[in-house]
Amino acid sequence: MNYYTKKPKIRLKIKHKSFILVIITILILFNSILYFFDKSILPAILQIAETKMTSEATKIINETSLKVYSNDFDYSDIILIEKDNLGNITMVRADTVKLNYLAAQLMLESNKRLEELEELGIKVPVGYITKQSVIYNLGPKVTVRMEQIGNVESHYESIFESAGINQTRHKIYLNVKMKLKVIVPLNIKEIEVTSQIPISETIIVGQIPDTSIDLGNNKK
């Protein structure tokens, strides 16, 4: 009479060891992929995401400023030039209420568009990280999202430059600064976006007094 009680145990042990080896191999492979993604791919994606989001945010601010200021900004209405009886310029002052209103409109319109960008995000193909134009659109797309941090800050800047004999060029800029949080899979980075928007450039005939103009610099 034959007995075969030991063979199934040996086979069971072999199967058990093989299963453990497979699990260990899968874990090692998975960790290797994660390590490679974290050290090689993720930094490149994060850098591209930062560039893309900075570009999109700057584009929104510039386009919105063009819309707001081209419709409602009139230099002669906002910058008031006072002269004496001889025609000499005695004072140059600004309508700060109007300037602050325009800056507030810009911030409101920009925030609306930034909120839309927050919800939709942008998609970056993995092939983009190679910087090879031939394969830019290849590979899976990584969704990049953004989130605005705090309030948008803005202030006007007034610059006077000589433009010839008894002529002065007056430039007005709006400086905008905001902080954004760029969100990609497995990582988040905070960035600061700044933009200097040219509002107007005008030639003033006459000697400008050596005093600064109060442009109602404000922070939103």
Is the pLDDT score of 27 beyond 80?
no
Q: Domain coordinates of the chain in residue numbers? A: 7-205
The pTM of the full predicted model, rounded to 2 decimals, is 0.67
Tell me which DSSP letter residue 185 carries: T
**Helix or strand or coil: residue 5?**
coil
d(CA 57, CA 194): 9
Exposure class string for 154-192: b at 16+ Cβ within 10 A, else e: bbbebeeeeeeeeebebebbbebebebebbbeeeeeebe
The residue-averaged pLDDT of 68-96 equals: 81
Which tens digit of pLDDT belongs to each residue from 130-185?
655 555 566 667 777 888 887 778 888 888 888 778 788 888 899 998 888 888 77
d(CA 139, CA 124): 10
Averaged confidence pLDDT in the chain: 76
d(CA 92, CA 78): 10
Ramachandran assignment for 206, one of left (phi > 0), alpha (psi -120 to 50 degrees), beta (any other): left
Ramachandran assignment for 24, one of left (phi > 0), alpha (psi -120 to 50 degrees), beta (any other): alpha
